Every structure is written in structure tokens, then in C-alpha cells.
């Protein structure tokens, strides 16, 4: 360093012992040792013995020139050691190790005269063990294996510190300090994992609910189908019994199917009619071979005509308008209207209803004739 610039001095290490004085001023010949301490006695700088708690005579002394005293605490002391290192997944941590140790009375001389700074010696041994174990572990494993590291540290420190007159009672890894940003990141990772597990469990629950609902719907449909089948079977038996009248005549399958379809048709019309928001469109079937369709078409057309006549009679003050007689025509020729041509322009709606009524009556006549 440049001349005139003072170099900072390293701080003096704190020794484990302390200088003591005797009970009588200006002499150390008579001493009283406290219960939690032991004194080492030196005569002209040479160690001559250990004085345990109580009143003792250290030797002839003149103003402290002959006898000097040093005290050691027999209490168990705890030393906190912090070691910075890196884990296997490149996370920098600071391991906090608490070492609890005390002086061995039989080796108190070594505790006073062998070590200059106990703390530095502890840091060296603890750092050697911690930096050999943590870099081989991930961060999660390091937290899990703190007990293993504690046992390893105590195993190494015990024999080493016993050579210097100390007994290591416990060596505990009390904490692994991680940077706050790393802690937040780890918490966020755990949070996202928990959210993912919660989403998976919610999806599984929804899947189970959906499957159970589908199974319940399938069972309901199955039972409903069985009920409908039993209902139709009962209807068929009732129709067969009512038509046969108790005799031995048997109805064909086609006759029973036609009756059943007609019954279901009218039941459907009844169900539709009970719903106020329903609209029904009737599509007539002109198939001459379909007797059921002709019956339904005739009934519907007759109902339309009846409603129209009721509305016309109500509009005309209660007078009922006579309806034209149906004309006999050839079965292959189209029906002719009895309305005069000059009134078709004004009574087009009347003509349509009358034609429908005539066509329905003609079809019924043809069916009776056949």
C-alpha cells in the first residue's frame, strides 16, 4: 500500500477465556470461583492447575506479578454459523447452523491454550460439511434432509472439537434462507400445481356427474319404454276384447295395428291441443288406398267446415246460412262447385270451405260404396 495510508486492522477474535483477579486487592493469592466457571492458574506464565468452584488458594503473589488467573464458562453455549452455498438446481441458499457445545472440565487446559478463535474453527468445520452435502441435493431435497445434514455435522464436529477441550452436544440446521424472489417463484409454482390439480378434480367430478346423469336418463328411458310397451299391450288386448265381443273370432295383426295407430293419433291430437303455445299444421294425404288417412282427412275437413259455419252464423246475427247439397259426380271426375261464378270473387273463402266439405262427403260415399 502507498505510504501514509493506514491499512484497516482485522477485528480481534474473542477468546473463550477471560482474565480474572483475586479476592484481595493487589494480590491473586486467594480466589473465589463461581459455580458456572473454572479458573486456570498460572505461575509466572506457566500453567499449574485448574481451580473448581469455591474458595481456593492460588499461591503466593505480589500485586499480581506471580499468579495470573483465567476463567472458562462451563455453561453450554450456542454458536450460530451461516454458510452460503448453491443447490444442485442452481439456487443459492444460506444454511443457518446452530452448534451447541461446552467445555470439558478434564480438558479445560486445551480449551484455553489450543484455540485462538473457536468461532472461526466452527465455521471451517461446518462449512466443509454443508458445502459437501447441499450441492448434491435439489432445493426441495435440501429442506427434507436437514436432519441428515445435522447428524453429519455433529459426527464431524464431535471428534474434531474434543481435541480442543470442547464437547459438541448438538449441531442443528435450523434454516435454509432463500432469496425472496425465489420463494415467491416457488410459491407460485406450488399455487399453479394446486390449481391444476383442482381443475383436474373438478373435471373428473363433472365427468362423473355427466356419466351418472346419462346412466340415469338411460334407465329412465328404459323404464319408460317398458311402461309404454305394457300400455300398448294392454290397449291391444282391450281392443281385441271389445271388438271381438267375447266370441271366438280373431282379429288380424293389421286390424289391431290400424286401430292402435288411430287411437294414438287422436291421443297425440289431444296432447297437442292442451298446449296453448302449440301450432299444428295438417297435411292431407290423397292416397286412396290409405283408409286411415282418408278418415283423418275427412274428420279434419269436417271440423274446419263446422268451425267456419259457426263463425258465419255468429257473424250473420244468428241466422244459419243453408249449405249446398253435395252433387253426385263420377268417382274419377273432380268435384264441381255449386257457387255461382259471379260470387266467387266475393265469397272465395266460402267456396273453399264448401268444396272441402263436398270432397269429404264424396270420399265417404265412395268408401261406403266400396
- pTM equals 0.48
pLDDT in tens for each of the 370 residues of the chain? 333 333 333 334 455 778 888 888 888 888 888 988 888 888 888 888 888 888 888 888 888 888 888 888 888 889 899 999 988 988 889 999 999 988 888 888 888 888 888 888 888 889 989 988 999 988 888 888 888 999 899 898 888 888 888 889 999 999 888 888 888 888 898 899 999 999 999 999 999 999 999 999 999 989 988 888 888 778 777 777 776 665 656 667 777 777 777 777 777 777 766 767 666 555 555 555 666 666 666 666 666 666 766 677 665 544 444 444 444 444 444 444 444 444 444 444 445 666 766 777 677 666 665 5
Q: What is the pLDDT of residue 268?
A: 73
Contact 324, 354 (CB under 8 A): yes
Give residues with Cβ within 8 angstroms of 281, minimum separation 6: none
Separation CA 364–CA 370 (nearest Å): 10
Q: What is the pLDDT of residue 196?
A: 92
Q: What is the pLDDT of residue 206?
A: 93
Q: What is the pLDDT of residue 232?
A: 77
Amino acid at each position: 500500500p502507498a505510504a501514509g495510508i493506514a491499512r484497516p486492522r482485522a477485528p480481534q477474535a474473542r477468546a473463550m477465556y477471560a482474565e480474572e483477579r483475586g479476592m484481595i486487592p493487589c494480590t491473586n493469592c486467594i480466589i473465589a470461583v463461581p459455580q458456572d466457571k473454572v479458573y486456570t492458574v498460572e505461575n509466572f506464565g506457566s500453567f499449574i492447575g485448574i481451580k473448581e468452584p469455591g474458595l481456593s488458594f492460588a499461591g503466593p503473589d505480589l500485586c499480581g506479578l506471580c499468579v495470573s488467573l483465567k476463567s472458562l464458562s462451563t455453561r453450554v453455549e450456542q454458536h450460530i454459523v451461516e454458510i452460503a452455498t448453491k443447490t444442485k438446481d442452481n439456487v443459492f441458499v444460506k444454511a443457518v447452523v446452530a452448534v451447541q457445545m461446552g467445555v470439558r472440565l478434564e480438558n479445560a487446559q486445551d480449551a484455553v491454550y489450543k484455540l485462538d478463535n473457536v468461532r472461526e474453527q466452527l465455521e471451517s468445520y461446518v462449512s466443509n460439511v454443508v458445502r459437501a452435502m447441499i450441492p448434491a441435493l435439489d432445493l426441495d431435497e435440501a429442506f427434507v434432509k436437514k436432519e441428515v445434514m445435522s447428524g453429519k455435522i455433529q459426527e464431524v464436529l464431535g471428534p474434531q472439537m474434543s481435541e480442543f477441550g470442547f464437547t459438541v452436544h448438538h449441531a442443528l440446521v435450523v434454516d435454509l434462507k432463500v432469496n425472496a424472489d425465489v420463494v415467491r417463484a416457488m410459491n407460485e409454482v406450488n399455487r399453479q400445481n394446486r390449481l391444476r390439480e383442482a381443475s383436474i378434480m373438478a373435471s373428473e367430478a363433472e365427468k362423473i356427474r355427466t356419466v351418472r346423469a346419462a346412466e340415469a336418463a338411460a334407465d329412465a328411458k328404459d323404464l319408460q319404454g317398458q311402461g309404454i310397451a305394457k300400455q300398448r299391450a294392454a290397449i291391444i288386448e282391450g281392443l281385441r276384447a271389445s271388438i271381438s265381443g267375447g266370441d271366438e273370432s280373431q282379429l288380424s295383426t293389421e286390424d289391431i295395428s290400424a286401430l292402435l295407430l288411430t287411437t294414438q293419433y287422436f291421443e297425440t291430437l289431444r296432447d297437442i291441443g292442451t298446449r296453448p303455445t302449440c301450432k299444428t299444421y295438417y297435411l292431407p294425404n290423397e292416397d286412396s288406398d290409405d283408409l286411415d288417412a282418408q278418415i283423418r282427412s275427412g274428420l279434419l275437413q269436417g271440423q274446419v267446415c263446422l268451425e267456419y259455419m259457426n263463425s258465419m252464423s255468429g257473424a250473420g246475427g244468428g241466422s244459419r246460412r243453408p249449405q249446398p247439397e253435395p252433387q253426385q259426380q263420377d268417382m274419377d271426375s273432380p268435384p264441381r262447385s255449386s257457387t255461382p261464378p259471379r260470387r266467387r270473387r266475393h265469397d272465395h273463402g266460402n267456396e273453399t270451405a264448401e268444396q272441402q266439405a263436398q270432397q269429404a262427403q264424396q270420399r265417404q260415399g265412395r268408401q261406403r260404396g266400396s
